Structures are given as C-alpha cells and as structure tokens.
Copies of this chain bind each other. A is one copy, B any other.
Amino acid sequence: MKPTIDFWFDFASSYSYPAAMRIDELAEQSGVKVNWRPFLLGPIFVGQGWRDSPFNLYPLKGRYMWRDLERICARESLPLRRPEPFPQNSLLAARCAMAIDPADRPAFAKAIFAAEFGEGDGIDDRATIARALAAVGLTEEPLARAKTDAIKQALRAETDEAKRLELFGAPSFVTQDGELFWGNDRLQDAIAWAVRRWI
C-alpha cells in the first residue's frame, strides 16, 4: 500500500500531454502510485452546454492555451506540434487504453500523447494507434477488442465515475482521500497532498 493518485485524462486534452509525460517520474520520486484513468471529456462538456472544446469556443483562451503549452513544453523539453483538427476524436484511443492490461496503459498513453502533440498525428487513425501499440511491444489485438461491448461499457463506466467525482476538465488528479486537483499545474500539489494525507 502506498499513497495513490488517480490520474484522469482525455487523450484529446492538450494539458494532459505534459502531465502524462512527467507524472510517473514525479510520483515515483515521492513514493506515490499512479492509476492511469482515461475518460471522455465530451459528455461532461455537453453537460456544461459545450459542443466543442472551450479552447475553440473561447478563442482568446484558446490562443493563450497554445502559447502557454509552448512555454510548458519548452521547459520540459517536450516537442509540440498542434494536431489538426483540435481537439482530436479520442474515442478509439481511449477504448484501446481500456482494452490493454492496466500495466501497459501508461506506456501506451505516453506513446499516443507523443504522437498526437509531439508529432501532430491524428489519433483517430488506426495506423497511429497501431504504431503506439507496437512501440510498447503490443500487437494490434486491442484495436479489434476496442469495438466490443465489454470495452465500450468499461469506458462508459469510467466516464460515469468521472462525472460522479464532479470532474469538469482534464487532466484531473484525485488522491486516495478524495481530494481533487485540476490541471497540469496542480500535479505537484496533488502528489504532495497524497503523501501528506497518507497514514
């Protein structure tokens, strides 16, 4: 048993990219276990009356986000190439993440994020997903299983759980005692909280 944070992310979420690329190292330094939990922001945004990313609905905020992400990626030495269109449709990638062994999920997710925001690749493209699976030593079998009812239902259940937790954006972090932190810039705070509240 260790202090734990649930890392809730949507593959379409731009700020989830730098969070995904550094969370494991930061958490390990603090002895914190990370559960990688993909979900879909779309249904949650619809609940807020948004049919598109707020970064598209509010162009000033969108322009700022891309500049802010440039600065963050420069600081973290992460490549950044904006995928077109933004946001990407993350449904297939999220279902694939559910279809693989949870132990492989972090490496797969990082490969998807690196393709999408590091290379600008489309992640609704089966070829992109197949390359990510291959990069972490997996076959294409999860791509087929992604279409089964069991996997569709598993992802729906995760998105329902995200709603129950009152998540409204990504990335979000929830510590073992239920404290919610939202945004890449709250990652270190979430880890510190998990450690402090560990008995």
A→B interface (CB under 8 Å) = 48, 58, 60-61, 63-64, 67-68, 71, 166-169, 180-183, 185-186, 189
Contact = CB atoms under 8 A, between A and B. Distances in A.
A168 B64 contact: yes
Contacts of A168: 58, 60-61, 64
A64 B182 contact: yes
A180 B67 contact: yes
Given A48-B60, A67-B180, 13 more contacts: A58-B168, A60-B168, A61-B168, A61-B169, A63-B166, A64-B166, A64-B168, A64-B180, A64-B182, A68-B181, A68-B182, A71-B189, A183-B185
Contacts of A60: 48, 166-168
A60 to B, nearest CB: 4
A74 B182 CA distance: 18
A43 B67 CA distance: 24
A60 B180 CA distance: 12
Nearest to A183: B185
A66 to B, nearest CB: 12
A168 B58 CA distance: 9
The 4 A-B residue pairs with the shortest CB-CB distance, nearest first, are A60-B168, A185-B185, A60-B166, A61-B168
A77 B47 CA distance: 36
A33 B97 CA distance: 49
Contacts of A58: 48, 168
Contacts of A183: 185
A48 B182 CA distance: 23
A35 to B, nearest CB: 20
